[in-house]
Amino acid sequence: MDQRAIEVAGLRMSYGRTEVLRGVDLALAAGEVVALLGPNGAGKTTTIEILEGFRAPSAGYVRVLGEEPIHADEVWRSRVGVVLQSWRDHARWRVRELLAHLGEFYRPYSLPERPRPWDTDSLLARVGLADKADRPILGLSGGERRRLDVAVGLVGRPELLFLDEPTAGFDPQARRDFHDLIRGLADEDVSILLTTHDLDEAEKLADRILVLVGGRIVADGSPDDLRRRVSATAEIRWARDGVTHVHATEDPADYLREVLNAPGGQITDLEVRRATLEDAYLSLVRRVESGAPGADDDPARDFLAPEPSLAPAGVGAGATEREPGRDPGRDPGRGQGRELGREREEAR
Amino acid sequence: MLHPAVAAFEYHLITYRRTWRGTILTFFVIPAVFLVGMGWMVGGYVDGSSGNGLGASYLAYIAPGLLASTAVQVGIGEGTHAVYSGFHWARTYHMMRASPLTTTDILTGHLGYILVRVTISATGFVLVMGLLGTLGGPRGLLALPAAVLAGFSIAAFVFAYSATISEVALLDVIYRVLVVPLSLFSGVFFPVSRMPAVGQVLAAISPLWHGVELCRAATLGVPTAWGVPAHVGYLLLWTAAGFLVARRAFARRLTD
């Protein structure tokens, strides 16, 4: 059985003469949660739509659950859940009624180990809409509407779920509830690919973050990897005897020990600040968009895997050896996109 | 479960269950008022004292024509904004395609719903005709399936057009280029034989004219121009060709 939910290499997409995707390589292991980040117009939605089978790519290798989405059959459709950027219809429908109806589409594809559709009421409870079940959809708030969208994506009990900007318009509570929902699904081994502009969200939810800029994946790694790659320095700020000090260092623990052991008065307001993911992301996007060295042939090279621990790793044993700290079962496909990219380059 | 296309069909039916009230005016009251107004008022002048040369009262003459015309208008009208919205606004089709429904299921389900809508409107119109005594006996009831066939035959082509365009304003073209000339020059209000040759050729192409011929034959008992099988066959041909064209357009639009 294929361990990879998604496998993409050299994906290109042009609209007329505009090239939107310029050789995207990415992989998603079964059960993995991956966030696809990128500025507006980077090609995120196009990528997702190609993976969902709504768009035919101009070129490249695309496999989702082992099949080519644009030619995949209805059995494949039943295994994939899609949450596009908000459906706006069904105003006259009631919440439960719509879910129950759409669920019927999946009934012929029910399996003993994966009964389809998802029971309407338990799904409503799961997405936090149980008390809105009999409401007309017209009367839902933006956040409730979005949760219904997610429920629509889940009603067929997908193995792989696509979420295009799932939490746009959520209030903080709705966002937190949603994050719990996604983590719960991940625990049930649903593979998830989501796009978002919210870096906190990506950091909380994703095992791995992919950054798409200018039609290419320019970074691929855990939130920590991403942060470290852009800036290894931390900023230490403290006050002693009423005087504020600021120091930037690559080894905050060591420096902190020095500060604390140094003779002198009481230390107050101690703060260690690492580069945030947002800092990392913005700096990354800036570097790529300003045409950093090598950006023309492969901007990804600058950012991908500068450290040994991030070197491309194959499926299974290879990954475990190189990354002893990680659970191989959770991310066998790590680095797969890069590996495919490299092979392609060698082939040229 | 039944065929997946039935599930798609049900989707539209359930939506209609909540919105049907708003459609009565457009697709039932207005045609009925039109029939009464044209038939009695205009008919008063047309019929005159010496007869109108149409072989029946003007009301009885235009009633089957307006029946076919109403059916065709529903067949066209339900395939414009509703279909465009399915791809661009509400994205109902994308939602269905994301589930295990095929493009053919989606199209068949929606066309099935159009068939229901055309049938409802035509049935209402036939009732009014019955009340006005323009059905001409039980045989006149055959005008119902004839009108439904005419209305349905054009629906899939309109679907294909609505699926292909990328500007909603282009839907107006349908009304200007198709609906108005169709209803004026397809023998609804006067015999096509009174038109110049070019008009007669255009009428022969128009599915509405074939529907009018069939409906008139049912209610007035007059012979049709081509014979009933030829008219029915022509309309079935439109239906089948339209389906193929629409399926292609839908498949393209769902993978662009």
CB contact under 8 A, B255 and A55: yes
- CA–CA separation, B52 vs B32, rounded Å? 22
CA distance B247 to chain A (A): 16
B146-189 pLDDT, tens per residue? 999 999 999 999 999 999 999 999 999 998 888 888 888 999 99
Q: Which of A67-71, A160-164, A280-284 has the lowest mean pLDDT?
A: A280-284
For the cut 90, the answer to whether the pLDDT of residue A10 exceeds it is yes
For the cut 90, the answer to whether the pLDDT of residue A347 exceeds it is no
- Using 50, 70 and 90 to split pLDDT, how confident is the model at A87? low
Q: Which of B12, B95, B101, B254 to mutate to test the interface with A (most CBs of A within 10 A)?
A: B95
CB contact under 8 A, B98 and A52: yes
Q: In chain A, helix, strand, coil percent, each to 5? A: 40, 25, 35
Over residues B86-110, mean pLDDT: 93
- Using 50, 70 and 90 to split pLDDT, how confident is the model at A292? low
Average pLDDT, chain B: 92
For the cut 90, the answer to whether the pLDDT of residue B125 exceeds it is yes
Over residues A335-340, mean pLDDT: 37
Q: How high is the pLDDT of residue A346?
A: 36
Contacts of A97 (CB under 8 A, 6+ apart): B14
Q: In chain B, helix, strand, coil percent, each to 5? A: 80, 0, 20
Q: How high is the pLDDT of residue B22?
A: 81
Q: How high is the pLDDT of residue A309?
A: 34
For residue A267, which of A279, A258, A276 has the smallest C-alpha distance? Answer: A258
ipTM metric: 0.84
Put simply, whether B1 touches A (Cβ < 8 Å) is yes
Beta strands per DSSP E along chain A: 4-15, 18-29, 33-37, 59-64, 80-83, 160-164, 191-195, 208-213, 216-221, 234-240, 243-249, 267-274
pTM as predicted: 0.82
Over residues A167-178, mean pLDDT: 82
For the cut 50, the answer to whether the pLDDT of residue B201 exceeds it is yes
CB contact under 8 A, B99 and A77: yes
- Using 50, 70 and 90 to split pLDDT, how confident is the model at A296? very low
The shortest CB-CB distance from A74 to any of B11, B89, B102 is to B102
For the cut 90, the answer to whether the pLDDT of residue A20 exceeds it is yes
| Neighbouring C-beta atoms of residue A224, cutoff 10 Å | 13
Q: Which of A76, A105, A137, A152 to mutate to test the interface with B (most CBs of B within 10 A)?
A: A105
- CA–CA separation, B86 vs B95, rounded Å? 9
For the cut 70, the answer to whether the pLDDT of residue A314 exceeds it is no
For residue A238, which of A221, A257, A212, A224 has the smallest C-alpha distance? Answer: A257
CB contact under 8 A, B98 and A97: no
CB contact under 8 A, B100 and A82: no
CB contact under 8 A, B101 and A74: yes
Put simply, whether A15 touches B (Cβ < 8 Å) is no
Q: How high is the pLDDT of residue A85?
A: 65
CB contact under 8 A, B18 and A93: yes
CB contact under 8 A, B99 and A92: no
For the cut 90, the answer to whether the pLDDT of residue A235 exceeds it is no
For the cut 50, the answer to whether the pLDDT of residue B122 exceeds it is yes
In the stretch 34-73 of chain A, residues with CB closer than 8 A to chain B read 52-56, 70
Put simply, whether B14 touches A (Cβ < 8 Å) is yes
- Using 50, 70 and 90 to split pLDDT, how confident is the model at A228? confident
Q: How high is the pLDDT of residue A231?
A: 64
